[in-house]
């Protein structure tokens, strides 16, 4: 498995993501090799916590420990209802946190997930 990192960012302006993309495009135009960057962003902590719930972090951890699993096997390992695990898998797949292999099993393709939370700007005193 290649070393790949998913960056989960909270509180970063969309302009920052656009700036990063523009810099990468300019580097490619110059023929430079760039490091792949994989990231998802949230405006605030509430949005991030709606996607990355404690049970979903448990699910991610179980997949990292076990490797690719069917949703049914994952639900058994987590001792959770299949329907709820299936919903969590679908949500995390939408956010690119997990994916399916050729056999339809789910897996975490990342060697690490880094969560970066920025504090809101301070109001002037």
The sign one gets for the Cα dihedral 44, 47, 51, 56 is positive
pLDDT tens-digit series, residues 30-51: 888 877 778 888 888 899 999 9
- Residues of the chain with pLDDT below 70 are 1-2, 13-15, 17-18, 24, 120-125
What pTM, to 2 d.p., does this model score? 0.78
Contact (Cβ atoms closer than 8 angstroms) between residue 36 and residue 56: no
The per-residue pLDDT of the chain, averaged, comes to 87
Radius of gyration over every alpha carbon of the chain, rounded to an integer in angstroms: 17
What residues form DSSP beta bridges with 42? 10
């Amino acid at each position: 498995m290649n070393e790949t990192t998913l960056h989960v960012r909270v509180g970063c302006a969309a302009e920052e993501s656009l700036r990063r993309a523009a810099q990468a495009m300019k580097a490619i135009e110059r023929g430079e090799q760039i490091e792949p960057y994989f990231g998802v962003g949230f405006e605030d902590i509430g949005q991030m916590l709606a996607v990355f719930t404690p049970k979903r972090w448990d699910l991610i951890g179980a997949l990292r420990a076990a490797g690719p699993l069917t949703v049914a096997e994952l639900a058994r390992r987590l001792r959770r209802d299949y329907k709820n695990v299936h919903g969590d898998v679908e949500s995390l797949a939408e956010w690119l946190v997990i994916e399916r292999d050729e056999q339809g099993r789910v897996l975490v393709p990342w060697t690490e997930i880094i969560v970066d939370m920025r504090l809101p700007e301070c109001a002037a005193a």
